[in-house]
Chains A and B, each alone.
Chain A
Amino acid sequence: MIPVFEARDVTYSYNDVTALDGLNLTIMRGQRIVLLGANGSGKSTLLGILDGLHFPQKGGVEFCGAPLTEDRLQTKEVEFDFRRRVALVFQNPDVQLFNPTVFDEVAFGPLQMRWPKEQIRWRVAEILDEMEIAHLKDRSPHHLSTGEKKRVALASVLILDPEVLLLDEPTAALDPKSESQMIDFLASCSGGRKTVVTATHDLDLVEDIADSCRVFERGRIVAAGTPAEILNDHALLLQTSLIHAHRHAHASGELHSHPHRHGHGH
């Protein structure tokens, strides 16, 4: 079976800063992968490369067996096909929501794909209903909460029904209710319906949304495994700054310090 993405020896630098350093990664169709890593570890850069927005200075990426290069994406048919099949939800929704209203935002993708206008109107109404944001249709993005913006951002890519979803910190800055709605959505992508690649440093998400994890550190993948394997490796998580150790008290009053992450029951 041909992988959806095959990244070989990918190196990418911003000026003098190396963001990705000889990275290798294979993503199969229907997989749900989480890219775990602290801030600045290269996760977002990799998502940008997988979305054909940046191109590595060394190495290469293939999408469904074909090279993902700047030259190939300049061919209209190739680019249209790629953009329809692969979608990226940016970490900052203010970057992604660049239209004056929610309706315009969700309609943007299909308009670029030259769908018939009546089909676009119908499909926009349908996706807004599915995401429970129909009441926001005529709202401007600056009148939306962060949770609403993220749902609109998701709707704006899901309208094209992409095969691959790339998500950059999907739960960042969300309140608990919005976060649980996002997790529910990501969990519903199981069963091979879509290939989902999520970049996050939020360990609480991992078991619900991923079949497989890759741990990043300074532009490289330093570990790979199932969520259980990764989450139980405290030494790895401490080394990669995904957990911390500080003095704290348990309910018993005992005061000590050990690697841990904050969550229920600790």
Chain B
Amino acid sequence: MTGKSRGAIELSLASFVDALQHAFDSEELATKKGLLQSIDPRVKILAIMPLIVIAALTRRLQVVFLLFAVAIAIAWLSKVSLGTLAKRVWLAVLMFTGFISLPALFLTPGRAIYSLPALGWGITLQGLRAAVNLVMRAETAATFSVLLALCTPWSSLLKALRVLRMPVVLVVVLGMTYRYIFLLLRTAHHMFESRKSRLVGQLERPELRRMATASAGVLMSKSIQLSGDVYLAMRSRGFAGEVYVLDEFRTGWFDWIMLTLFAAIAVIALWFGRW
């Protein structure tokens, strides 16, 4: 196999494996004995959602930094490493939000603090503050969100969202999506592996595109067949159009103490960030 054809197939295989491993690692984190993992999922949502909103809306950068520090402390207590957060949240948010806030560095009127050598564009202090503000809000809000997702099994998180009046049908549909996305990822993985094991010689780009299109078509066809069979399996067990969920959540004194603590942090952040 030449570099061209090998690259596309190897990359695809690697991405499938990464996705499966990524999901597996996330589920492992959710079962560790840490702070967030010990809290009832509904209480977690009620505790963390206000912090996300406050991080996004507060007027003072110092409050954003304080909330970011709280997020890092929670991560440490929940056995989530800073490396994990950096890989899954901070780098991606920095790249995306940093790119969006780049023009603000040069376009915001104010005192110039630095000038780009070749272009002569001036970075203003006010522009820098605005960019840092935007990036830090995004980082803090994303960190809280990802911590919530990493420290809660996905199925529990979906059910717990009922506390925010999320419709049951959405909970069930997302749960089934989560269930079958792994099956389809594995199927795609196996398809590409079988292709790789039978490939000799060189594949040109048009052939690679045809291969990718054909694979997508086969996967779509399998998905449609599977969805029909799953519907029959649901009917076989009494499904008649209505969906229900059953949770095993039980709140205890620890949950209420944590909720009170998080509420206190939120109130303090709200108070100091109101100007």
Contacts and interface: CB of A to CB of B under 8 A. Distances in A.
A108 B153 contact: no
A57 interface: no
Given A92-B229, A95-B230, A100 B237 contact: no
Interface string B232-267: 111111111010111010000000000000000000
Interface residues of B, number: 31
Dominant SS among interface residues on chain B: helix
Nearest to A138: B153
A236 to B, nearest CB: 32
B236 A140 contact: no
Interface stretch (B45-53, B69-77, B83-91, B176-184): B176-184
A112 B239 contact: yes
Interface stretch (A23-31, A76-84, A180-188, A245-253): A76-84
A100 B233 contact: no
A112 B244 contact: yes
A199 B266 CA distance: 61
Interface in A36-83: 48, 51, 53, 76, 79-80, 83
B155 A100 contact: yes
A5 to B, nearest CB: 16
A113 B238 contact: yes
A76 B179 contact: no
A100 B246 contact: no
A90 B229 contact: yes
A100 B179 contact: yes
Contacts of B232: 48, 53, 95
Interface in B178-216: 178-180, 182-183, 186
B171 to A, nearest CB: 10
B175 interface: yes
A84 B238 contact: yes
B218 interface: no
Contacts of A138: 153
Nearest to A159: B237
A41 B24 CA distance: 40
A193 interface: no
A204 interface: no
A83 B233 CA distance: 11
B226 interface: yes
Contact of A101 (B155, B226, B236, B244): B155
B154 interface: yes
A79 B236 CA distance: 10
Contacts of B240: 76, 79, 112
Contacts of B27: 140, 143
Given A98-B180, A103-B248, A157 B230 contact: no
A79 B158 CA distance: 30
A48 B233 CA distance: 10
A131 interface: no
B194 to A, nearest CB: 18
Nearest to A142: B182
Interface string A89-117: 01010111111110110011101110001
A171 interface: no
A76 B238 CA distance: 10
B95 to A, nearest CB: 31
Given A99-B175, A100-B178, A141-B179, A83 B236 contact: yes
Nearest to B20: A142
Nearest to B181: A142
A90 B246 contact: no
A88 B235 CA distance: 10
Contacts of A10: none
Given A104-B175, A140-B182, 18 more contacts: A48-B232, A79-B240, A83-B238, A90-B229, A95-B230, A98-B230, A99-B179, A108-B237, A109-B237, A111-B245, A112-B240, A112-B242, A120-B246, A138-B153, A140-B155, A142-B182, A142-B186, A160-B237
8 contacts: A90-B233, A95-B232, A96-B233, A98-B234, A100-B176, A103-B248, A140-B182, A157-B237
Interface of B: 24, 27, 153-155, 158, 175-176, 178-180, 182-183, 186, 226, 229-230, 232-240, 242, 244-246, 248
Interface of A: 48, 51, 53, 76, 79-80, 83-84, 87-88, 90, 92, 94-101, 103-104, 107-109, 111-113, 117, 120-121, 138, 140-143, 156-157, 160
